[in-house]
Amino acid sequence: KTTITWWHAMGGELGKKLDQIVADYNKSQDKYQVVATYKGSYPQTMTAAIAAFRAKKQPDIVQVFEVGTGTMMAAKGAVYPVYKLMKDMGEPFDPNGFLKAVVGYYTDSQGNMLSMPFNSSTPIMYYNKDAFKKAGLDPNKPPKTWGELVADSKQIMKSGAAKCGFTSGWISWIQAENFSAWHNQPIGTEENGFGGLGARLEFGKDKALVKHWANLAEWQKEGIFKYGGPVGGNDAPPMFYSGDCAIYMNSSASRAGVLANTKGKFEVGYGMLPYYADVKGAPQNTIIGGATLWVLRGHDKAHYKGVASFLSYLSSAKVQADWSQFSGYLPITQAAYKLGQEQGFYAKNPGSDVGIKEITLNPPTANSKGLRFGNYVQVRDIIDTQFQKMLAGNETAQQALDNVDTDGNKLIKQFQQANQ
């Protein structure tokens, strides 16, 4: 048997499910043995793969989060583009079968799919229905606007139904990148980087975002918002699971964890991300998150045959429908979505299609296709650092976001120079 190695970043409930999918694939045929290894967080997994490539010890497949896309696209010698792999290996492959909102993010300017979508998400809002009830709010009416969310939070706190109004995972992804797309505002030039490597960040020019960050700092002081530090919201989940915060924004794929950790404690409701009613164009559409699978060069043909077969298996309607229904990741193909509808999954599980509704709410504009900048993984660190400085009262929202632009653009410029 040929061993195919896959490095990934799926921990907890998601990791267990991934192992089961791999075991099923291994049982389904006798030529290849896929060995999946958990390498830590998304940034850790990506860093490990880059280091391994330099040492010629790279895995066949690595899972890279969406913001690593710009960097991976530029690493031409290291990456075996998926469209080419499938063609070279004679593996049937139809890029048109994938959801447009997903595939656009991973396609080059010639329309070629470079990596294989596996786990695509978008941020949504979770809320504690029991706390809403206790506070005298309608548990079937999640707040739609930030104004409603703050009013609900105050009522929840005043009534003692929960200690805090809301928390959020992934500040950079949810309270900056998605916030801007949802309000149809740019975060950078040249269609947020889709237009080319010369694009630069302009977070500080998004007045809606500046106002939002200033509000978050204010709401933190009042206890309405609790920052899930230490890094960008990593510790937000337990604040929701424990019932401390009644509302929680995180990936649609946080659902598996939410369901497992709130079972028997309280009922969970789902809603779209809130928006500011006075920002013209909001709500627009949310953008993608999660990760895709990149195939790395440097292995022999037998490996790539196995990789192609495994990628086909992972994107089959049956596997994708099961994975997305379990996790909350979006069904990445039309067939997987259709299968879920035929199975009655979305009807039986109200709220499970909130992410699909958000990401397809309106046809994407130049501001809401996503983002594509080199070195953006490091830019995310800058966003987190600046956000914390603002929360600590050391900077205003405007200063923090201007600093993101100044420091981030240095990294983006370096990337551009190295890849010209």
Q: Is 271 in the site for ligand G3P (CB under 6 A)?
A: no
Q: Is 416 in the site for ligand G3P (CB under 6 A)?
A: no
Q: What are the counts of helices (DSSP H) followed by strands (DSSP E) for the chain?
A: 20, 11
Q: Is 408 in the site for ligand G3P (CB under 6 A)?
A: no
**Residue for token digits 């269609």?**
191
Distance between CA atoms of residues 323 and 318, nearest Å: 9
Identify which of residues 304 and 326 has a Cβ nearer to ligand G3P in the complex.
Answer: 326
Q: Is 370 in the site for ligand G3P (CB under 6 A)?
A: no
Identify which of residues 70 and 306 has a Cβ nearer to ligand G3P in the complex.
Answer: 70
Q: Is 201 in the site for ligand G3P (CB under 6 A)?
A: no
- Chain mean position to CA 68: 11
Identify which of residues 170 and 240 has a Cβ nearer to ligand G3P in the complex.
Answer: 170
Identify which of residues 135 and 359 has a Cβ nearer to ligand G3P in the complex.
Answer: 359
Q: Is 170 in the site for ligand G3P (CB under 6 A)?
A: yes
Identify which of residues 186 and 233 has a Cβ nearer to ligand G3P in the complex.
Answer: 233
What is the total count of residues that contact ligand G3P (CB under 6 A)? 12
Distance between CA atoms of residues 399 and 390, nearest Å: 8
Q: Is 275 in the site for ligand G3P (CB under 6 A)?
A: no
Q: Is 251 in the site for ligand G3P (CB under 6 A)?
A: yes
The binder of ligand G3P chosen from 173, 179, 182, 376 (CB under 6 A): 173
The binder of ligand G3P chosen from 253, 282, 321, 371 (CB under 6 A): 253
Distance between CA atoms of residues 51 and 113, nearest Å: 25
* Residues numbered 111-140 forming contacts with ligand G3P, rule: CB under 6 A: 119, 121
Compute φ and ψ for 80, nearest 5 degrees: -100, 105
Concatenating the DSSP letter of every residue in 361-381 gives SS---TTSS----TTHHHHHH
Minimum distance, C-beta of residue 199 to ligand G3P, in the bound complex (Å): 19
Q: Provide the strand spans (E) within 225-369.
A: 225-227, 245-251, 268-271, 289-296
Whether residue 143 is preceded by a cis peptide bond, meaning omega within 30 degrees of 0, is no
Handedness of CA 157, 160, 161, 163 (dihedral sign): positive
β-partners of residue 258 are none
The binder of ligand G3P chosen from 117, 204, 283, 289 (CB under 6 A): 289
Compute φ and ψ for 316, nearest 5 degrees: -65, 150
Q: What angle do CA 251, 255, 257 make, to 5 degrees?
A: 105
* Residues numbered 65-104 forming contacts with ligand G3P, rule: CB under 6 A: 65-67
Piece of 60-68, 158-166, 239-247, 266-274 that binds ligand G3P (CB under 6 A)? 60-68
* Residues numbered 292-351 forming contacts with ligand G3P, rule: CB under 6 A: none
Residue 287 near residue 178, CB atoms below 8 Å: yes
Could you list the residues that contact ligand G3P (CB under 6 A)?
A: 42, 65-67, 119, 121, 170, 173, 251, 253, 289-290
